[in-house]
Amino acid sequence: MKIAVIGLGYWGPNLTRNISTVPEVDLAAMCDMDESRLDVQARLYPGAKATNSLSEVLEDPAIDAVAIATPVSTHFELAKQSLLAGKHVLVEKPLATTVIEAEELVRLAAKTGLTLMVDHVFIYSPAVQKLAQLHREMAFGDLRFIDSVRINLGLVQQDVNVIWDLAPHDLSIFDYVLGRGPRSVLTAARVGPGAELATLAHLHLDYGDGLIASVHVNWLSPVKIRHLLIGGSRRSALYNDLDTSEPVKLYDRGVDMAEGAEGRRQVFVSYRAGDVLSPKIEKVEPLRNLIKHFASCAETGSTPLSDGWSGLRMVQALEAADRSLEKGGVFVEIPDA
């Protein structure tokens, strides 16, 4: 399968590097407006066509698929043109800037029968796949809470707030592990001074069944923290993406609560404190897994894990999060996709 990479800014070079080394795909072309970026990549991958002309890529019948890594505001237009040109499409997250655009892309992919996949890269990491497997096997019991902290001194961006920049990682992990999107979201955030857009935010997402998941994203933190806690009635897990030796820990610890005969007021509590297990996690670059999965889905027509629908659910949640922020922090409902 021949892939063209569109956009060679921050993320594009990761795509070209991985595409060039995955045997199932060929890096056929690279496209960017910026000549200097194009030059750097052209020197690294002399076998791929380097061009600043999008139409040259889309009109090339030898190219089967495009990977779009341009600014968010251009995702919709580029993905749409690519699908219309008959290319399978991999888009950097988030899929689009509005629900309406995301819906149109999903429809277009369905109509053309082409593969539309979103670059929710974390769900292709062995650690997150292990969490999802544990949840499928009921290792956690009933989920009591999910709490994710993703903070560091980040690149403050001027066209997108911290929610659209960082929270997609957490939302895509939740979506994949839980197999569903949130019903409503509440945002508590800090906006400026000196920056119009939110630079830190807490999201609280209601997933139904009493499960509330929280996300703290922050560009202003002096320390880097990547903690995702899953609290269950049977076991709990901590996924620390910065712990290279033990990224996932499974705790056989918990509080058991049981109602008494007279109802909720009378609660019996017991505590468990057992072993901690750090399962072996393969060291594979998630983006490499993702590209293999994209190639396989495009060839066989099977549905990607991070298909257009998951991209749409993500944009719905992000839009709702922004709306909650505008309303001063209230739960905003998210319609079914």
Restricting to residues 271-300, which ones interact with a second copy according to CB under 8 A?
271, 273-280
Interface with a second copy in residues 206-235 (CB under 8 A): 210, 212, 214, 216, 218-225, 227, 229, 231
| Omega prior to 193 cis, within 30 of 0 | yes
Q: Which residue of 202, 226, 292, 323 would you call a contact of a second copy, by CB under 8 A? A: 202
Q: Measured from the CB atom, is 34 or 259 closer to a second copy?
A: 259
Residue 167 found at the interface with a second copy (CB under 8 A):
no
Helix (H) or strand (E) holding 308: helix 308-326
Contact 331, 184 (CB under 8 A): yes
| Least distance CB 120 / a second copy (angstroms) | 25
Q: Write phi, then psi, for 230 (nearest 5 degrees).
A: -120, 115
Residue 3 lies near a second copy (rule: CB under 8 A): no
Q: Residue 127: which H helix or E strand, with range?
A: helix 126-136
List binders of a second copy among 55-114 (CB under 8 A).
none
Minimum CB–partner distance for residue 328 and a second copy (Å) = 6
We find the least distance from the C-beta atom of residue 205 to a second copy, in angstroms, to be 10
Among 192, 262, 300, 335, binds a second copy (CB under 8 A): 192
Among 267, 302, 326, 333, binds a second copy (CB under 8 A): 267
Cβ atoms of residues 255 and 78 within 8 Å: no
Interaction residues for a second copy, span 20-59 (CB under 8 A): 43-44, 46-47
Shortest separation between residue 117's beta carbon and a second copy, angstroms: 28
253 touches a second copy (CB under 8 A): yes
Distance CA 227, CA 243 (A): 10
- Contacts for 255 with CB less than 8 Å, ≥ 6 apart: 269, 270, 271, 272
- Provide the 3-class DSSP secondary structure of residue 251: strand
Q: Compute how many residues bind a second copy; rule: CB under 8 A.
A: 73
Q: Which is nearer to a second copy, 86 or 329 (CB)?
A: 329
Reduced to 3 states (helix: H, G, I; strand: E, B; else coil), residue 290 is: helix
CB 202 within 8 A of CB 185: no
User: For residue 12, what are its two tokens?
Assistant: 């594009």
139 binds a second copy (CB under 8 A): no
Which one of 7-15, 95-103, 259-267, 313-321 is the stretch in contact with a second copy (CB under 8 A)? 259-267
* Selection from 316, 306, 300, 272 nearest residue 128 by Cα: 306
Which amino acid, one-letter code, is at 211?
A: L
In the complex, minimum distance from the CB of residue 69 to a second copy, in angstroms, rounded to a whole number: 21
The CA–CA distances, whole Å, from 49 to 41, 86, 227 equal: 10, 19, 41
Least Å distance between CB 101 and a second copy?
23
- At its nearest, how many Å lie between a second copy and the CB of residue 88? 26
Options 113, 158, 301, 336; binder of a second copy; rule CB under 8 A: 158
C-alpha torsion 178→245→283→146, nearest 10: 10
